[in-house]
Amino acid sequence: MTEIKQGDIVLQARGITKRYPGLVANDHIDFEIRAGEIHAILGENGAGKTTLMSILFGLTHPDEGEIYVFGKKVNFRSPLDAIDLGIGMVHQARKLISAHTVLENILLGHPHAGAILDMKKTAEEVKQLCDAYGYKIDLNAKVWHLSEGEKQMVEILKALYRGAKILIMDEPTSALAPPETEKLLETIQLMTKNELAIVPFITHKLPIVLSVSQRVTVLRRGKIVARLNTAEATEQSLAMEMIGREVLFNLKRPDVKIGKPILQVENISVHDDKDYWAARNISFEVREGEIFGIAGVSGNGQQPLAEALAGLRKASAGRVLFENKDITRLSSLERWKKGIGYIPSEQRAVGSIGDFSLVENLLMSYYYDDQFVKWGLIDAKKIRQLTQELIEEYNVATPNPDVKARNLSGGNLQKMILARVFSRKPRLIIANLPTQGLDVGAMEFVQNKLLEEKKAGAGILLISEDLDEIMALSDRIAPMYEGEFMDILPGGSAQRETVGALMAGHKQKAVQA
Amino acid sequence: MWEFWIRSLNASTIFAIAGLGEVVGQRAGVMNVGVEGAMLFGATIGFIVAKTTGSYLLGFLAGIAIGALIGLLHAFFTITLHGDQVVNGMGIWILGFGLTTYIGSPYAGPLGMGRIPTIGGLSPFFFAALVLTFVIWFVLFKTHWGLKIRSVGENPTVAEVSGINVVRTRYWSVIFSGAMMGLAGAVYALDYNPVWSYNLLMGWGFIALALVFFSMWNPYILLSGAVLFGALWQVSLNPESFLPNIFSRYIWRTFPFVITIIILVIMSTHWFSSRWGAAKPEALGLPYEKD
Ligand SMILES: Nc1ncnc2c1ncn2[C@@H]1O[C@H](COP(=O)(O)OP(=O)(O)OP(=O)(O)O)[C@@H](O)[C@H]1O
Ligand SMILES: [Mg+2]
């Protein structure tokens, strides 16, 4: 192989086409990546970004088209072929085996792993990689013990340890907390300097695209609609290219009269799966027409707290009142019936059943409703029609309502889940990371939906890691750190810096500031 | 007493060999509840071949081969055709039961060959089982092969994107697993009790299957479980001589299953899983379909 210089074309795709029943996910895509560049790929939810990357990684076979890697034509039969040529991928959904250790995950399928695994040698080599990128991670820990950010480190380490020269990252930041995101961006910039990696990088976060990438390719409905140098782009112009219309980056918060309390939480404490304290002694209330925002980096107890309020986890202590009635002991179903809606953060694991169609997924919020189920019989026509209507209203990109949920792109699945929860007209909405993985257009849509619900008088508990989202939407903000509320601040007058510092656990500093 | 332990250990040899086979298959995500059927095939074919050729070696090889073939069949139906593993396993049991009764009946009676020499009363296969336990543990936890096997059983999608050929890995694991069951059956019919009779295994395959869950998919625990179950079986043969008038032998025979159920219950508790994680291979029983 000849020496690769910065700027050389290392990967080229020509005329890549992939059709799924009823839609063309990739439509004659021509695309190339150069050595040492960070190449951002943008596009709405369902535009075909993940499909294209899976094709480049050998995970999906294109119906048409050719791929050239380092100038040679290739025909990937499986990811192994791509890995052998130095292509690595960090997937949109984490792809690690939770029961295995970090090292085992890194070694799995490694072409040079001997028949008998030399754990000691591997550990040393991986340690060196860790040091190079400033990663700190226990290599013998089981993956299920790790945080989202650590899992991602493992995926990157795995790709690098296999000698990846081209690293495909599909929404690497969507599950990361702000400091983890910064760390990641540092890492990939370092990689391109080391001439080690050429990174196509998919994301919905436009500021990230602007700050780290050199070139941008924009997809819309399976076609490339723009190729730009990042230097010439702005947030507005990128959004415009992506969805073909302007996106307003500042939301208008409607003036809504805040009513009486809907949800009252009194000294609630919750344990997590490992039996540790997750949230301790938390009290607050959410009122009619109010958005109460919990700001925090993932893993600080928001998830168990939300689950406890939704009735999916037992509270170890404390009381929850809904419209002045004690619901602490009610099951989740009884809570749904009373008018609580829950948007879980894990869309694939908790929010939907992958092998069920969209109609059946919607039914999960309607099976207890006499209008749709009579004498135990499902009114199939009615629920199908409702699904159809919601697909249209929420602009879900899918050929028909009988598609399996797992075939929906991340963003579209999220829209479907929102549609299901909102269409029940809940009095209280617990929204756990509702815009995670959504494109800017869809994000705007969801945020406006939340505001609409607020206008209609619903109380909303918004849990988010996105400081901008919290600041823009919330009437009151509770920064959460290590299972406790650091403070409860009024949304209108709170300073971004103060909230940021509090959610990082700097109580002292925030008070002085 | 000595006699009792010798008999127990010889019985546990058979549980262990069949159980180890099943562990490998289940670690790769494929359950074969037809252990009994595969063992019946190994026992009967091994018996017939040994009796007609007069060669123990050929008998054991035939037992292993027929077991591997049953494994291949199971692999084909469950992996390639995405059939339900439990249903197919039941099929193997019923098929094994019926077919071996049919082909074995003309050979009913003792083997009529010189007994395989023992080492202080212990079958040489007992020592083979010890070695196999170590080897299988080593392969599963210390080699790349084992890592691949465990990975396709935990999460085949992840294995696939890591460059593992899921189908091939599962096939080999299930074939190996069948071969071990065939061997276990042959050891029973050629060494432990060299007489062919109707339903000669009396449910030993099911004890081996229970043993796998008891072992939490760990070869060493499996070996100790095999010894325990072997002893329980011996007690059940002659309960009066140990604990007169307590339980009938049929109650004693349920003990391995009762113990296994208790272990399974403990394993499924929050208390257990929050400390040690899920012991069960996550993808066990699920067919793998590539998108
Ligand atoms: N296996 C499949 N079967 C049928 N349709 C599929 C399949 N995989 C993807 N699709 C469809 O192809 C289109 C492109 O999906 P893809 O996952 O590539 O989108 P994306 O750009 O990555 O979106 P997101 O930003 O939401 O992740 C979507 O409409 C999706 O529903
Ligand atoms: Mg995607």
Tens digits of residue pLDDT in A357-393: 999 988 888 888 888 888 888 888 999 999 999 999 9
Query: How many other CB atoms sit within 10 Å of the CB of residue A77?
Result: 10
The answer to whether the Cβ–Cβ distance between A117 and B282 falls below 8 Å is no
**Ligand located closest to A414 CA:** 1
Share of chain A above pLDDT 90, in %: 35
Instruction: Decide yes or no: CATH 3.40.50.300 for domain A262-351+426-512.
Output: yes
Give the chain A residue nearest B279 (alpha carbons): A99
Q: Which residues contact residue A185 at a Cβ distance below 8 angstroms, ignoring those fewer than 6 apart?
A: A208, A211, A212
Nearest CB to B147: which of A59, A91, A117?
Answer: A117
The pair of three-digit structure tokens given for residue B230, joined into one six-digit string: 């072997």
The three-class DSSP label of residue B276 is helix
Q: If you take atom 25 of ligand 1, which residue's CA is the nearest one? A: A45
- Is A240 touching B (CB cutoff 8 A)? no
Separation of CA B58 from chain center: 21
Secondary element (H or E) of residue A171: none
Give the model's pLDDT for residue B265.
82
Yes or no: say if A473 and A251 are a contact pair by the CB < 8 Å rule.
yes
Give the model's pLDDT for residue A2.
54
Yes or no: say if B120 and B251 are a contact pair by the CB < 8 Å rule.
no
Pocket probe mutation, ligand 1, options A19, A50, A348, A357, max atoms within 8 Å of Cβ: A50
Residue A403 with chain B: CB contacts under 8 Å? none
Mean pLDDT for A258-283 is 88
Residue B159 with chain A: CB contacts under 8 Å? 97, 108-109
Residue B258, min C-alpha distance to chain A (Å): 28
The residue among A492 and A432 whose pLDDT is bigger is A432
The answer to whether the Cβ–Cβ distance between B144 and A115 falls below 8 Å is yes
Letter for the amino acid at B248? Answer: S
Domain spans in chain B, listed from the N-terminal domain onward: 2-279
Q: If you take atom 1 of ligand 1, which residue's CA is the nearest one? A: A407
- Strand ranges in A209-287 using DSSP code E only, listed in sequence order: 215-220, 223-229, 261-271, 277-287
The pair of three-digit structure tokens given for residue A416, joined into one six-digit string: 């479907």
Please give the number of the atom of ligand 1 that sits closest to the Cα of A54: 18
> Which of B252, B128, B126, B123 is closest to B194 using CA atoms?
B123
CA distance A247 to A443: 10
Query: How many other CB atoms sit within 10 Å of the CB of residue B236?
Result: 19
Stretch among A244-253, A304-313, B8-17 having the lowest mean pLDDT:
A244-253
Sequence ranges of chain A with CATH classification 3.40.50.300: 9-243, 262-351+426-512
Residue A115 with chain B: CB contacts under 8 Å? 143-145
Identify the residue whose tokens are 């971004």.
A496
The three-class DSSP label of residue A316 is strand
Give the model's pLDDT for residue A1.
47
Give the model's pLDDT for residue B278.
67
Stretch among A138-147, A319-328, B159-168 having the lowest mean pLDDT:
A138-147
The answer to whether the Cβ–Cβ distance between A83 and B165 falls below 8 Å is no
Q: Is the pLDDT assigned to residue A282 strictly greater than 90?
A: yes
Residue B190, min C-alpha distance to chain A (Å): 35
Choose the most confident range, by mean pLDDT, from A118-132, A234-248, B267-281.
A118-132
Secondary element (H or E) of residue A15: strand A9-20
| Torsion angle of C-alpha atoms A95, A100, A103, A104, degrees rounded to 10 | -90
CA distance B45 to B39: 10
The answer to whether the Cβ–Cβ distance between B274 and A113 falls below 8 Å is no
Q: If you take atom 28 of ligand 1, which residue's CA is the nearest one? A: A46
CA distance A382 to B129: 62
For the domain made up of B2-279, give the CATH fold: ABC transporter involved in vitamin B12 uptake, BtuC (1.10.3470)
Nearest CB to B151: which of A83, A97, A274?
Answer: A97
Give the model's pLDDT for residue A287.
95
Please give the number of the atom of ligand 1 that sits closest to the Cα of A397: 29
CA distance B67 to A124: 43
DSSP A465: S
Give the model's pLDDT for residue A375.
84
CA distance B159 to B282: 13
The answer to whether the Cβ–Cβ distance between B163 and A78 falls below 8 Å is yes
Residue A144 with chain B: CB contacts under 8 Å? 277
Strands A64-69 and A9-20: antiparallel
Helices B2-27/B35-53 angle, 10° precision:
120
Letter for the amino acid at A245? Answer: R
Letter for the amino acid at A266? Answer: E
- Strand ranges in chain B using DSSP code E only, listed in sequence order: 109-110, 195-196
ipTM score here?
0.86
Secondary element (H or E) of residue A319: strand A315-322
Give the model's pLDDT for residue A496.
84
Look at the alpha carbons of A129, A131, A132, A135 in this order and tell me if their dihedral is positive or negative. Answer: positive
Q: Which CATH number fits domain A9-243: 3.40.50.300, 3.40.30.10, 3.40.50.620, 3.40.50.720?
A: 3.40.50.300
The answer to whether the Cβ–Cβ distance between B144 and A89 falls below 8 Å is no
The pair of three-digit structure tokens given for residue A178, joined into one six-digit string: 């702000």
Yes or no: say if A480 and A296 are a contact pair by the CB < 8 Å rule.
yes
Q: If you take atom 3 of ligand 1, which residue's CA is the nearest one? A: A407
CA distance B252 to B203: 14
Query: How many other CB atoms sit within 10 Å of the CB of residue A258?
Result: 16
Q: What is the pLDDT of residues A386-441, one digit of tens each?
A: 999 999 998 888 888 999 988 888 788 888 999 999 999 999 999 998 988 788 88
Q: Is the pLDDT assigned to residue A299 strictly greater than 60?
A: yes
Nearest CB to B277: which of A57, A104, A144?
Answer: A144
Give the model's pLDDT for residue A511.
46
CA of B178 to the centre of ligand 1 (A): 40
Pocket probe mutation, ligand 1, options A17, A24, A45, A51, max atoms within 8 Å of Cβ: A51
**pTM for this structure?**
0.80
> Which of A239, A276, A256, A39 is closest to A145 using CA atoms?
A276
Secondary element (H or E) of residue B119: none
DSSP H stretches of helix in chain B: 2-27, 35-53, 56-75, 85-104, 124-142, 144-154, 156-161, 166-187, 204-214, 219-237, 249-267, 270-276
Nearest CB to A79: which of B143, B160, B277?
Answer: B160
Q: What is the pLDDT of residues A64-74, one digit of tens each?
A: 999 999 888 99
CA of A358 to the centre of ligand 1 (A): 15
DSSP A230: G
Stretches in chain B below the pLDDT threshold 50: none
Separation of CA B230 from chain center: 13
The pair of three-digit structure tokens given for residue A442, joined into one six-digit string: 């869809």
CB pairs under 8 A between A and B: 77
CA of B83 to the centre of ligand 1 (A): 28
Cα angle B89-B94-B95, degrees, rounded to a multiple of 5: 95
Yes or no: say if A115 and B143 are a contact pair by the CB < 8 Å rule.
yes
The pair of three-digit structure tokens given for residue A34, joined into one six-digit string: 């150069």
CA distance A122 to A330: 50
The Cα-based distances of B280 to A151, A371, B27, B264 in angstroms read 22, 42, 8, 10
Stretch among A195-209, A210-224, A331-345 having the lowest mean pLDDT:
A195-209
CA distance B243 to B253: 14
Cα angle B291-A199-A153, degrees, rounded to a multiple of 5: 75
User: In the predicted model, what is the mean pLDDT of chain A?
Assistant: 86
Query: How many other CB atoms sit within 10 Å of the CB of residue B237?
Result: 13
Residue B140, min C-alpha distance to chain A (Å): 10
Q: If you take atom 27 of ligand 1, which residue's CA is the nearest one? A: A410
The answer to whether the Cβ–Cβ distance between B163 and A96 falls below 8 Å is no
The pair of three-digit structure tokens given for residue A275, joined into one six-digit string: 């039996």
